[in-house]
Structure 1
Amino acid sequence: MAAKDTEITPQRWTIAVLAVFLLFGFGFGNWLARIPAVRDHLGASTFEMSVIGLVLASGSVLGLVFAGQTVTLIGPRRAILFGALGQAVFMPLGATLLWFDLRIPGMLALACFGFFFSTSDVAMNVSGAAAERALGKSRMPILHGGYSLGGVSAMGLGALAEHLRVPVPIHLAVVFAFIVAAIALAVRWIPRVEPTAVPDGPVPASTNTGPIHLPPLPPAPSGAPAAYNPWRDPRIIVIGLVAMSLSFTEGTATDWLPLALADHRGFSNPAAALALGVFFVAMLSTRAAGSVLLARFGRVTILRASAVTAGVGIVLMNVLPFTWAAYASAALWGIGSALGFPIGVSAAADDPAKAVRGVATVSAIAYAAFLIGPMAIGFLGEHFGLLRAFLPLIGLLVFVVFAARAAREPGAGPGTQAGRVETG
């Protein structure tokens, strides 16, 4: 039985959303962990597997187009559960169809999975942004750290399933059945209220430990202006491009770093995989510390520092032909990539009345990196080598340095970080 909204404290709300992030990261991570097994079972080429990934990502982007309306209509809690149920149906179904070499139906099922995944992605980000406002403390980096932790944990389970030769459809069916059950428990502590009912501004620290009391939305007055369109909001577009730039930087490492080190630095496959592990650990650690860093330095400074750190890592990866330098560069790259998307989501949700559509738009722009990124880097790598193909990312990072001001906290003018939420 769901808890009443009056029984839900900001702390319980935040923990519940953290559990949702972790579970969805765990689910998608299990699919990523078994992609090699799917490829081997089908005898598919790298290009064919990239097409499967592209179809899934296309479904995700389509879902983002409608996510704002969906979350607004049914609320974040129901959208999270709705998304979890859809994922639990279509991921095992897609894996089963592919397993029996029914590639077109399998890819269509994965596109449906992507649709439900992006719907729940927007819902959990909207709810997380509202929770951190109610708590009065920055928590979005920790929430995204939970997603990363879920993905890393899935790699271990995927390796165990591979060792035990568990068929991919059975593995994923069990995983997603568990996820639905766990999500159903977690959402009991997420309020039913619309995110626009969250008070404007953080709850004072002295009062944010008790139950939340969110008033219902007043009816819209007659003659009200047309619905807000975030695609016409220059600030939201710039924030989305900042998030996309750092998401592109992150995705490039996860897609291509091990192969680049194997091809151009002579790394063995395990050594190259270890470099990617260093990247993930650095990113996860930075997200864990993100709330403290944001409270101390503010969004603008953190975004600029992130861009510079990632840029230094990419350049050093190219110019220093030493094993230790590759691992150090991977760590810098991971640190610099960690906070862009979480900060973008928080910034898009600054105005609670526009949070749902703002988060959906920023997410849609950022997800474009996962559509164009692998093919763009692959094309450049084919002609110039993968390590050199990383260098154009520097241009995106320079853009982040100059565009970071768009994400500054409400009430913060140039040169100040006033108005940010506290941490503790």
Structure 2
Amino acid sequence: MADKAATLARPVVERARIAVAIAFGVSGLAFASWISRTPAIRDALDLTNAQFGLLLLCTSVGAVSALPLSGPLVHAIGPHRTVLLGASAVTVGMLAVAVGVAVVSPPLAGAGLLLTGTGLSSWDVAMNVEGADVERRLDRPLMPRFHAGFSLGTVTGALLGAGCAWLGVPVDWQLAVTALLVIASIATAVRMFLPVPARVPGAAVPRSGVLRAWREPRTLLIGLLVLAFAFVEGVANDWLTLAVVDGYRVGDAVGAVAFGVFVAAMTAARMVGGTALQRWGRVTVLRATAVLALVGLALVVFGPTLPLALLGALLWGAGASLGFPVGMSAAADEADRAAVRVSVVSSIGYTSFLAGPPLVGFLAEQVGILRSLLVVLGALAIGLLAAGATRPAGTGSTGDTAGVTQPGGTGQGS
């Protein structure tokens, strides 16, 4: 990779770093702009918690369906075109959700969420592949900070949602304006992505090797890790706002603030995550964050007061922060296999979003929305067990190099 990295001037790579950060941030903004308004969407569509869980499932179905094709797509047309294609799908999907809410049509809103999920997943794989390439070329751990950009986008989206809820701005108008901002921002950012090498005319297009990646034990274990942490994060994304509103009997604006606390904690933890990974290594850090998420979950579910629940949201967010970015970085340890491995890991990880929304929704009908969140305990146990798979595939891996070289191998855990 050293020779490959030397073919591009550092200013070009630095511009790409900024562009990738923008792509992550705008993705988070697009996601949180509607997640933070879930109570308003549920009420506008006149749905029960179980019905709304099924509606949220549309996003997950779209995401999981598109993921297996995302790696080969990135391999074929490059990360920049894939991100732009995904952002276009998200824009159309959000506009469809806005119209669905305006005319009180759950099927139309569901179709919009399906398209939004499809776009977000392909966008996600492509920007992770691009981010891993930039990380290798600059030879320092950047993936947690890129994902911090996503979290910062979600913070912005959550604050936007809270402000709109407080001011009484209709959710359909909020979604429509956000959708237009998304496509305008991404169309500008992808122009600064790393240039894709031109293929020799007439030369055969190399195969992606995606089927072989599905048979690699390490890749599958990393996928299991990402699945676990994605579930921990996804349940909070989908249900924390509603859990606080219904469980603590507060208004929509307070629920949006709770979600903002969660994503703000994720952002802060991801900003310092690179330093922690260099000092203690991937495995130790991931296991520590799983324990932190456990404490936060307990406070949200069993906290007797709203302030304790908000503290729990903060700890939950910090604990869920590094599983996804570290998994992506570990999957992309080897540059020539990065695209397909990231798509395989993402495909496994995103299946958690298929089970999460309806499972919590149905449990909420039986035991209450707060107690239903305890299903996250199973995911945390899986995360603890699968963390060992993130040990670097080779000595040239960025993001954990310092941990590898520490005396006694303490950076890798045991």
Instruction: Name the TM-score class by shorter chain.
Output: 0.7 to 0.9
Find 1:83's aligned residue among 78, 81, 86.
Answer: 86
Match of 1:20?
A: 23
SS, match of residue 193 in structure 1? coil
Matched residue type, 2:122: T
Gaps of 5+ in 2: 1-6, 406-414
Q: Are the structure 2 counterparts of residues 324 and 99 from structure 1 closer, same or farther at C-alpha, using a change threshold of 3 Å? A: closer
Query: What is the rounded CA distance, in whole Å, between the counterparts of 2:68 and 2:297 in structure 1?
Result: 33
Query: What is the rounded CA distance, in whole Å, between the counterparts of 2:217 and 2:35 in structure 1?
Result: 35
1:174-213 to structure 2, matched below 5 A, reads: 174-193=177-196
Deviates more, 1:286-295 or 1:221-230: 221-230
Q: Are the structure 2 counterparts of residues 257 and 41 from structure 1 closer, same or farther at C-alpha, using a change threshold of 3 Å? A: closer
Deviation (angstroms), 1:10 = 2.4
2:105 matched to 1:122?
A: no
Match of 1:409?
A: 392
Deviates more, 1:123-132 or 1:162-171: 162-171
Q: Are the structure 2 counterparts of residues 382 and 39 from structure 1 closer, same or farther at C-alpha, using a change threshold of 3 Å? A: closer
Does structure 2 conserve the Cα–Cα contact (< 8 Å) formed by 1:136 and 1:421? no
Match of 1:62?
A: 65
Find 1:301's aligned residue among 284, 287, 291.
Answer: 284
Q: Whose helix proportion is higher, 1 or 2?
A: 2
Q: Are the structure 2 counterparts of residues 222 and 130 from structure 1 closer, same or farther at C-alpha, using a change threshold of 3 Å? A: closer
Q: Are the structure 2 counterparts of residues 109 and 228 from structure 1 closer, same or farther at C-alpha, using a change threshold of 3 Å? A: same
Deviation (angstroms), 1:109 = 3.5
SS, match of residue 394 in structure 2? coil
Match of 2:3?
A: none
1:128-147 to structure 2, matched below 5 A, reads: 128-147=131-150
For each residue in 1:68-100, what CA deviation from the matched residue of structure 2 results, as whole angstroms up to 9, or x when unmatched? 121111000111112122222232134224422
Gaps of 5+ in 1: 195-214
Query: What is the rounded CA distance, in whole Å, between the counterparts of 2:352 and 2:331 in structure 1?
Result: 18
SS, match of residue 92 in structure 1? helix
Deviates more, 1:393-402 or 1:311-320: 311-320
Match of 1:95?
A: 98
State the TM-score, normalizing by the size of structure 1. Answer: 0.81
Q: How many residues align?
A: 396
Alignment RMSD (CA, Å): 3.5
Matched residue type, 1:233: E
Match of 1:368?
A: 351
2:224 matched to 1:241?
A: yes
Percent of aligned positions with the same letter in both sequences?
Answer: 39
Match of 2:236?
A: 253
Match of 1:197?
A: none
Matched residue type, 1:249: V
Matched residue type, 1:24: S
Q: Are the structure 2 counterparts of residues 178 and 305 from structure 1 closer, same or farther at C-alpha, using a change threshold of 3 Å? A: same
Query: What is the rounded CA distance, in whole Å, between the counterparts of 1:232 and 1:304 in structure 2?
Result: 26
Does structure 2 conserve the Cα–Cα contact (< 8 Å) formed by 1:77 and 1:123? yes
Match of 2:56?
A: 53
Find 1:398's aligned residue among 381, 394, 400.
Answer: 381
Matched residue type, 1:44: L
Query: What is the rounded CA distance, in whole Å, between the counterparts of 1:324 and 1:225 in structure 2?
Result: 50
Find 1:291's aligned residue among 274, 288, 309.
Answer: 274
For each residue in 1:288-329, what CA deviation from the matched residue of structure 2 results, as whole angstroms up to 9, or x when unmatched? 111111111111111111112222333455566455543443
Find 1:29's aligned residue among 11, 32, 54.
Answer: 32
SS, match of residue 9 in structure 1? helix
Q: Are the structure 2 counterparts of residues 179 and 300 from structure 1 closer, same or farther at C-alpha, using a change threshold of 3 Å? A: same
Matched residue type, 1:287: R
Query: What is the rounded CA distance, in whole Å, between the counterparts of 1:92 and 1:293 in structure 2?
Result: 40
Deviation (angstroms), 1:374 = 2.4
Q: Are the structure 2 counterparts of residues 67 and 379 from structure 1 closer, same or farther at C-alpha, using a change threshold of 3 Å? A: same
